[in-house]
């Protein structure tokens, strides 16, 4: 286990300190309590490293972060950065990191000791704030929500010109993006019902809607193009607007890597949905 961790830290991660990596695994794969326990032990781990006992500190991090965690959960935290094997140099096989394609974690920032402490201190405040934002949003009419969101620390940004109702038959791409400080609001492996809660737990969540130019007729299905070609064209436009790079991976490909399924949502009863929410939240308190 030591050699695997050392090789991973030396090539795939930017920093030389593996503590942040194990904090990430502890949070994403196990929950808040294990995350907090590893942070409490950080001074001990740091002291071991200063005394030349870094190997024991590494073993302690490994034990606290992954002891009792299923192998599939640990593996899912190692796919954020795809890599490729390069030629051998000086008898060693080099591993080159590629640009990140998949990301399925909740944490936005690297969980350094100071950032991890800030996250833990913010967590109870964020939960209360999310509950207030959601309840107020459910009670207010739609026209009033953008104005009140500023009072509660949120912001809605609308760019471009929305199409009038008369042109509803025209194709107008809409790019949607969000900016958060602590927690990502999307996940493939976790419970989708918690996505809005994590979004509203951020101190100053920003939701951005950009109305783009209307598609020319020759770029639509009306000109004889297939829906597949039109969809790919729109995806490239949205990617250029949002600053992403398109890949050849399909939606099913991404879900197979991240969640082990093809992303198909099957009908489940309310009881089963409730059990899934409880099972997702439970690790944060055990």
What is the C-alpha separation between 258 and 73, in angstroms, rounded?
Answer: 10
Give the pTM.
0.72
Give the pLDDT of residue 116. 93
Give the pLDDT of residue 46. 92
Give the pLDDT of residue 87. 45
Residues of the chain with pLDDT under 50: 1-7, 9-11, 79-95, 283-286
Give the pLDDT of residue 10. 46
What is the C-alpha separation between 217 and 210, in angstroms, rounded?
Answer: 21
What is the C-alpha separation between 107 and 202, in angstroms, rounded?
Answer: 11
Give the pLDDT of residue 123. 92
Q: Render pLDDT for 197-213 as a digit per residue (tens, 0 to 9).
A: 999 999 999 989 999 98
Length of the chain, please? 286
Q: Return the half-sphere exposure (C-beta side, CA atoms, 13 A cut-off) of residue 134.
A: 16
Q: Render pLDDT for 43-87 as a digit per residue (tens, 0 to 9).
A: 999 999 898 888 898 889 888 888 877 766 666 665 444 444 444
């Amino acid at each position: 286990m030591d050699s695997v961790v050392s090789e991973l830290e030396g090539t795939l991660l930017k920093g030389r300190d593996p503590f942040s990596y194990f904090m990430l695994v502890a949070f994403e794969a196990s929950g808040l309590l294990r995350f907090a326990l590893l942070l409490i032990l950080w001074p001990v781990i740091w002291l071991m490293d200063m005394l030349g006992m870094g190997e024991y500190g590494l073993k302690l991090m490994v034990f606290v972060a992954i002891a009792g965690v299923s192998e599939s959960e640990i593996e899912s935290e190692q796919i954020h950065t795809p890599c490729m094997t390069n030629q051998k140099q000086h008898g060693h096989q080099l591993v080159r990191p590629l640009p990140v394609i998949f990301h399925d974690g909740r944490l936005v920032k690297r969980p350094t000791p100071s950032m991890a402490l800030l996250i833990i201190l913010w967590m109870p405040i964020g939960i209360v704030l999310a509950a207030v934002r959601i309840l107020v949003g459910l009670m207010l009419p739609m026209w009033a929500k953008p104005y009140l969101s500023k009072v509660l620390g949120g912001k809605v940004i609308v760019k471009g010109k929305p199409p009038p109702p008369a042109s509803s038959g025209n194709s107008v791409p809409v790019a949607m993006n969000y900016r958060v400080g602590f927690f990502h609001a999307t996940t493939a492996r976790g419970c989708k019902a918690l996505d809005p809660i994590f979004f509203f737990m951020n101190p100053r969540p920003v939701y951005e809607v950009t109305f783009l130019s209307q598609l020319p007729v020759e770029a639509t299905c009306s000109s004889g193009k297939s829906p597949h070609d039109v969809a790919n064209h729109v995806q490239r436009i949205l990617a250029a607007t949002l600053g992403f790079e398109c890949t050849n991976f399909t939606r099913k490909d991404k879900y197979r890597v991240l969640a082990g399924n093809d992303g198909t949502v099957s009908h489940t009863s309310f009881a089963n949905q409730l059990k899934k929410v409880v099972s997702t939240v439970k690790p944060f308190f055990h």
